[in-house]
Structure 1
Amino acid sequence: MAKFEPVLLARWGKPNSQSLETYRADGGYEAFKKALAMPPDDVINVVKDSGLRGRGGAGFPTGVKWTFLPKNHPGPIYLAINGDESEPGTFNNRILMEEDPHQVLEGICISCHAIKSSAAYIYLRYEFGRSYRVLKKAIEELYAAGLIGKNIQGTGFNLDIYLHRGAGAYICGEETGLIESLEGKRAWPRIKPPFPAIEGLFRKPTIVNNIETMACVTQILKRGSDWFKSIGVPPDPNIPRDAGSYGPKLYCLSGHVNKPGCYEAPLGITSRQLIDEYGGGVLNGRKVKAVVPGGISMGFLSADELDIPLDFNGPGKAGCLGLGTAAVVVVDDSTSIVDVLFNCARFFSHESCGQCTPCREGTAWMRKILERIRNGQGELRDLDLLLEVSGSIGIIPGTTICGLSDGAAWPVKNAVKKFRGEFEEFIKSGKKLVRECELAVAGAH
């Protein structure tokens, strides 16, 4: 693979990389000054032209989302930044916040100018104690330097940035659940429409973006949209609605690999490249059984699908929900897929907010069925039952308000279809073992 020079992680590991002083010495906040000299609509057009798609999971074009705000709105308009990062296997946002917070904050400043917002809220996962302390100090530095606050750089632009610590719930990764939590309420996702861009935080127009997305905004204003589009994958001409997969991406690599970590690479790298060239191969020299391409809600790639590109279209061609957060989890051939799927189902059953009956009950039943199989009491018909339940919940079949149940269903659909033989063998051997135990107990009496 051609040599790729990290951009988003370029300052990771530098001495005192969190400080405003070292960030400005590396050219920090020049992109913000450049943006302040531009009309807000021109900044939006630069981000639109770059093809930047949101890095939080859905992959919606960022600049296009900004244009959904009502024209000539008297305000206030809010920017909410999702720093909750609850998808299992994901830790790229935490690294950006803790190692290079000003790159993120500069993106927030640029974005607020673009959408004419005077207030930004960073919704931060409560468990991220270090992230909170680092961001808090960085924001204080910005106020002291006059880079946020009133009449920034004499331009008349005002901006306040607030840190809000959430209580640690997966559902707060959904933008309207996040907004409800920000308002001090139970994080139940809202029915849409209206979408947040029309009626969001405090019932005012709101844009919700991701931490990594903000870092990309900084680099786009600094280097230009043409630079951004020179990295990644252009639109697929066979998919009319494809917006392309441009720019660098932070891939989280964990599981059974020799060198787990967060790696920056162009969008479109394959799982095989990521495991072999970045992760140092599979742990203990074993083989891959399955790979999660972007957090467990995306489903699984089989060992035969490791050359699928990890861009916004690639995983979908292999029956996965999408790229998600690009949290790649490797499962080796010594691991039971039954155990892996049970852990996935248990997680989503616990994290369902319970507002929608199909999700509340469906996630619980998938967990119970898999628990029964895992305990050696499963029936072969349970596999079809799992497919029936997983196919009946979520936004895609139109039964729930948000996509948590789609994310809960996808690994089940995926694993049962791709590894059905292993599930059937597990059920058969489990029943045989249970029967032998029953006979042994009967014989003892």
Structure 2
Amino acid sequence: MAPAITLAAEAPKLSAANTGFMLICSALVLIMTPGLAFFYGGMVRVKSTLNMLMMSFISMGIVTILWVLYGFSLAFGTDKGSFIGWTSDWVGLSNIGLTELWDGYTIPVFVFMVFQLMFAIITPALISGALADRVKFTAWSLFITLWATVVYFPVAHWVWGAGGWAFELGVIDFAGGTAVHINAGAAALGVILVIGKRVGFKKDPMRPHSLPLVMLGSGLLWFGWFGFNAGSWLGNDDGVGALMFVNTQIATAAAMLAWLLYEKIRHGAFTTLGAASGAVAGLVAITPSGGAVSPLGAIAVGAIAGVLCAMAVGLKYKLNYDDSLDVVGVHLVGGVIGSLLIGLFASGHGQSTVEGLFYGGGLTQFWKQCAGVFAVLGYSLVVSAILAFVIDKTLGMRVTEDEEIAGIDQAEHAETAYDFSGAGGGAARTAVPAPADTDAKKVDA
């Protein structure tokens, strides 16, 4: 009998469908950063609106250039000691072929690179919401540059890079619960502990100036998040990306409803700000877990995150730290919840066969999740605080008290978000003409 012939596994070939899918997902992730800008911009007072928008938009500029020059290589290059990566051929995106495939996948390296770039852009932008009203724009720009280099790029390698210690340990983070949300939330806490509270914290109302803008921003985030989450499977061949898409919708809806219910019981009203914040909390929590849990598990993840994040946003008043727009309460807490619940709700029928406690898998995965969560939290918190301290003692992190009170938009950008002084506007347009037989001086123009 002739010996059996063993065929080598067929090498992956470039898939036009997956490539197109991933480019669309990349664009969806990019639109999340302007969505975040509107979300945050509506939550601040009028005098800080433009500064809040710019703190997100500048990340699109700075991080893009860093990613091209060395960030992609540091995050996803050849592993160096399980802590960082480096591939010199990727510096400046040199020596990458147009059809060169990302290892083990059917998409080009360029497509994977640009998809991950969008994650790198939005992560430092998330931090900005905690610092509203009081940070110099030059200091913020420098902070983004340093933070992306020494915090985001290494942490992305830990979690997603081949050889990264968290990746090798088996920590599950489908789309960024640790690398994005815990990372950004811990950084926000570290910075605000260094720079202090806003003038008037716990005394002045500091209410959102435009709730419609907040709702618009949350809607754009919800829309873009489908690319953020479903695209993280890097293809659309086996249904896992579809599961993640479905779970994203389910968890977000559950979190929004849970937040509103808590708000009604606790404060007596269903608010638009609560609806928007609850939706974002659900999006954050399902980001790490959506590929591992069932749709019913997604309801549980979203509902738990909605209630606990709603409770967490009030901690800043009890613990006396000024997290302006609740980055800690939503992104840090939501990221921790979503990451740890994998250890309880992982079904074994999604991205892997890993099962959580409630599916008979014991606590093994839960402890792995704890290792990833608290390592990222601690590293980002400490390093971010050090960066803020150094910048504060050299360049200075905060605007002056007078500039903060007068408005950071005018001080830092020489502009205001809304101009009510245009010719023909305001009272002049609506003035009632004086009757012919009435002294015009008596008419209030």
The TM-score normalised by the length of structure 2 is 0.27
Higher relative contact order (CA 8 A, sep 6+): 2
Say which structure is richer in helix: 2
More strand by share: 1
State the TM-score, normalized to the length of structure 1: 0.27
